[in-house]
Amino acid sequence: MSLQKVSIAGMGCVCACGNTSEEAFEGTLNAKTRFELPNTRVDSVYTSKYPVFLVDPALYQHKPADQTFSQFFFIRAALQAFEQAKISPRQLNPKRVGVIVGASVHPSFHCFKIYRRWKTDKLTEADYTGLKNYLASPLAQWVSNYFGFQGPFQTIATACASGTDAIGLAKNWIETGLCDAVLCGGTDEITESPYVGFIRLLVSTPQRCRPFCKTRSGINIGEGAAALLLTNVQSAQQLKLSCQGYVLGYGNCCDGFHPTAPDPKGTGLRKALSFALQDAGKNAEDMAFINAHGTASQANDSAEAIAFNSVLPHVPVWGSKGVTGHTLGAAGAIEAVLTLQALNKRILPATIGFTTPDEQLQLIPTRQATAISKRVAMSDSLAFGGCNAAIVLGACDAA
């Protein structure tokens, strides 16, 4: 079976540093972002100490009551992707259009209040309805129904690697001929579960995160979504779609080292990076840069540095979470959009928050915005459960 080439017709993004992909990339260049206490968004005793990266409230003040923040963010990002591709969902309906959405928070349901009411025998009819609706309509199915698509759909829940895995699987669906186009990406929102969970795991910091910095003290979670419309080349030509870039390679490997900690030797990540390079037919010398997972936790940054130095030595490393925060299941998708923006604009931003090299890492990320000429880059994600994923992305002129 000959494999179809996978192009990106459009992309969209909603996160703390911008309400569109263009705004978000500008935010990475000028360090403009919303980093603040979660206030009314989270009910926790920790909200006076641990700030987060929040989407601009002006964006969601008109959010429909029957949509979660995750759903709302993703729809906004998807509509941007369609607009950039200059096509409507209705025009795509005759094609075999799949939907793959990665998420970490949303698939776990927001059950704390319901659980508390259940413990006191105070469940309401709305609680039963909400639970039934959640069980009956997984996220990707809901998105597919929203746009009226008839193709396959899948929700990816590989924790913080979900967004990257969603793009990689979408690539596979198109390459093998299962779909003509796939709407893919990731979405997640600030809720009590991850907010309190990361604090209890002792990896959150009340300060702003500092990826790969010697003085790094932990992560700040964030929220948002990114969506990409992937197509095969024939459909792109037939529908006269624009080209924002290409998904060239995908690699995935689970090391199973620990439920929440990465393998300190970076074993699984090294394999995921190598698989992605092999799938793309590229090598380290082809890479303009790596958009790292770069959460600014001690263990994660150390494992990544070991893997990068082994598989991608001397390739510039950019950590974008200094302006987006760790958006969990959306992280890989948001970082894919930012990676494509950097490639197409031929400029690699600085790693915001980094100040002091850590000699133990033997890795210094980007310290200032730099012009780039190579047309291919890597983006990777690490996740709970030992999940590791990586994608190789090409600029719009990489063909």
State the number of CA atoms in the 13 A half-sphere of 366 facing the CB.
28
Query: Percentage of the chain surpassing pLDDT 90?
Result: 82
Catalytic pick among 179, 209, 293, 387: 293
Please identify which of the residues 13, 179, 326, 387 carries the catalytic annotation. 326
Q: What integer pLDDT is reported at residue 260 of this predicted model? A: 84
Which pLDDT score, from 0 to 100, does residue 366 have?
98
Pair of tokens at residue 11: 């992309």
pLDDT score at 109: 59
- Check residue 2 and give its pLDDT: 47
* The predicted structure's pLDDT at residue 46: 94
Residue 353 lies in a domain: yes
- 271 part of a folded domain: yes
Query: Strands, DSSP E only, in 320-386?
Result: 347-348, 370-371, 376-383
Residue 130: pLDDT band by 50, 70, 90 thresholds?
confident
Q: Rounded mean pLDDT of 124-140?
A: 78
Predicted confidence at residue 214, as pLDDT, reads 97
User: pLDDT-based confidence at 3, cuts 50/70/90?
Assistant: low
235 assigned to some structural domain? yes
Is the pLDDT reported for residue 110 higher than 70? Answer: no
Say yes or no to pLDDT of 395 above 80. Answer: yes
Give the residue, 311 or 61, on which the prediction is more confident: 311
pLDDT at residue 172 above 60?
Answer: yes
Mean pLDDT of 181-189: 97
In angstroms, the CA 85 to CA 78 distance is: 11
What is the structure's pLDDT at 41? 86
Does 1 fall in a domain? no
d(CA 146, CA 259): 34
CA–CA distance, 49 with 240 (Å, rounded to integer): 51
Choice between 337 and 260, residue whose per-residue pLDDT is larger: 337
Whether residue 155 contacts residue 139, with contact meaning beta carbons closer than 8 Å, is answered with yes
* Amino acid 213: pLDDT: 98
Q: In CATH, what number is assigned to the domain containing residue 198?
A: 3.40.47.10
- The reported pLDDT for the residue numbered 108 is 67
Mean pLDDT throughout 7-25? 98
Residue 306 covered by a domain: yes
- The pLDDT tens digits of the residues spanning 362-389 come to 999 999 999 999 999 999 999 998 999 9
Domain region containing 256: 6-394
Mean pLDDT of 288-317: 97
Q: How far, in Å, CA of 267 to CA of 311, rounded? A: 11
- Whether the CB-CB separation of 18 and 24 falls below 8 Å is answered with yes
Annotated active-site residue 293? The verdict is yes
Q: State which of 1-15, 102-116, 211-225 shows the largest mean pLDDT.
A: 211-225
238, two tokens: 């037939």
Decide if 399 is inside a domain: no
User: For residue 272, is it within any domain?
Assistant: yes
| Within-domain flag for 141 | yes
Q: Are 213 and 358 in contact (CB under 8 A)?
A: yes
CB 10 within 8 A of CB 80: yes
For the cut 80, the answer to whether the pLDDT of residue 115 exceeds it is: no
What angle separates helix 331-345 from helix 162-175, to the nearest 10 degrees?
A: 70
Q: What is the pLDDT, as a whole number, of residue 1?
A: 39
Alpha carbon distance, N-terminus to C-terminus of the chain: 21
Active site residue 314: no
Q: List the Cα angle 331/221/66 in 5-degree steps.
A: 75
Q: What is the mean pLDDT of residues 121-148?
A: 84
- The catalytically annotated residue of 13, 15, 160, 184 is 160
Active site residue 326: yes
Whether 253 and 277 have beta carbons less than 8 Å apart is answered as no
Sheet holding 181-188, edge to edge: 153-156, 97-102, 181-188, 224-232, 6-15, 245-254, 387-394, 376-383, 287-292, 317-319
| Tally of domains in the chain | 1
Average pLDDT, the chain: 94
